[in-house]
């Protein structure tokens, strides 16, 4: 071997030893696991819903409510049934369609908001269709 080859071979030895790291002691690894816990996700965004009565249906107070975006439209319907003391209520988004009870309030808000509010009309009987 020439002098250059022997120097390069001896140089690669110590570098490879430095690359291999021993695992931290058990107490340190437990501490690292505790400190590297992912923080909880932020709470869901609140959505403003403007409630508008249709026809002779009584209006509710307040007519603007704030609800968590991860709730479903069934929660809005339940709120209105309780306020109106009725067994059924029909909800409409912008007087156009009746959303499913399992649809997310946040999804509907993102698609159909007007002036940063979701307009939900309601009545006791079927109004459209």
* pLDDT for 18 beyond 50: yes
* pLDDT for 35 beyond 80: no
Count of residues in the chain? 129
pTM for the whole structure: 0.66
* Arithmetic mean of pLDDT over the chain: 81
pLDDT of residue 128: 73
* Strand arrangement, sheet containing 90-93: 64-68, 46-53, 118-123, 90-93
Please name each of the domains of the chain with its CATH number: 3-35 (no CATH), 46-123 (3.10.20.90)
pLDDT of residue 2: 46
* pLDDT for 74 beyond 70: yes
* pLDDT for 24 beyond 80: no
């Amino acid at each position: 071997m020439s002098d250059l080859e022997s120097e390069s071979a001896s140089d690669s030895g110590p570098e490879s030893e430095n690359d291999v790291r021993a695992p931290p002691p058990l107490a340190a690894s437990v501490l690292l696991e505790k400190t590297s816990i992912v923080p909880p996700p932020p709470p869901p965004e609140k959505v403003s819903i403007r409630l508008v009565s249709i026809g002779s249906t009584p209006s509710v107070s307040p007519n603007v409510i704030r609800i968590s975006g991860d709730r479903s439209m069934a929660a809005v319907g339940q709120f209105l049934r309780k306020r109106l003391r009725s067994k059924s209520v029909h909800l409409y988004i912008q007087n156009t369609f009746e959303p499913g009870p399992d649809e997310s309030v946040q999804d509907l808000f993102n698609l159909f908001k007007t002036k940063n509010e979701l307009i939900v009309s309601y009545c006791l009987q079927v109004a459209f269709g």
